[in-house]
């Protein structure tokens, strides 16, 4: 990009979403080596409770809308099981668990999507 499109380091950083220092490091690297950015994976507070949330949401999907558990009820349930995080984070986990396409899938944090076991 720098040589081909005559872009500055700052412009490349804006377009790629990487820091200027990372772009500078990659431009200084040997041309035959393709640098690859990998986001560090981590275990969150909610990770251990994602299967529980998924199981509850699958069960609730068969109930009428008025009979389903609310976000507060889900939060209280996982809190009783030992969850120490906050309510907003538990809602994010519930929304993520709702998007699980099938029972035999796992969330791949490195790639940012669900995959088969």
26: confidence class by pLDDT, cuts 50, 70, 90: confident
Say what the pLDDT of residue 80 is. Answer: 93
Roughly how many angstroms between the first and final C-alpha of the chain, as a whole number? Answer: 38
- Higher pLDDT among residues 48 and 1, named by residue: 48
Say what the pLDDT of residue 115 is. Answer: 59
Whether the model pTM is above 0.75: no
Which SS3 state, helix, strand or coil, does residue 61 take? helix
Q: What is the mean pLDDT of residues 8-33?
A: 80
15: confidence class by pLDDT, cuts 50, 70, 90: confident
pLDDT in tens, 55-113: 888 888 788 888 888 888 888 988 999 988 888 878 777 777 666 555 555 666 666 65
Instruction: Flag whether pLDDT at 116 surpasses 60.
Output: no
Interacting residues of 6 by C-beta distance below 8 A, sequence separation 6+: none
State how far the Cα of 60 lies from the Cα of 11, in Å rounded to an integer.
48
Dmax of the chain from CA atoms? 61
Say what the pLDDT of residue 104 is. Answer: 52
Q: What is the mean pLDDT of residues 32-37?
A: 66
Which SS3 state, helix, strand or coil, does residue 30 take? coil
> How many other CB atoms are there within 10 angstroms of residue 33's CB atom?
8
């Amino acid at each position: 990009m720098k040589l081909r499109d005559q872009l500055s380091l700052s412009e490349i950083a804006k377009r790629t979403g990487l820091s200027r220092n990372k772009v500078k490091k990659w431009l200084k690297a040997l041309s035959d080596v393709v640098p690859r950015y990998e986001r560090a994976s981590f275990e969150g507070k909610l990770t251990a409770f994602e299967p529980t949330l998924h199981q509850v949401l699958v069960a609730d999907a068969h109930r009428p809308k008025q009979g389903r558990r609310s976000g507060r009820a889900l939060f209280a349930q996982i809190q009783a099981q030992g969850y120490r995080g906050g309510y907003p984070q538990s809602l994010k986990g519930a929304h993520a668990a709702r998007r699980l396409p099938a029972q035999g899938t796992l969330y791949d944090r490195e790639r940012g999507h669900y995959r088969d076991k």
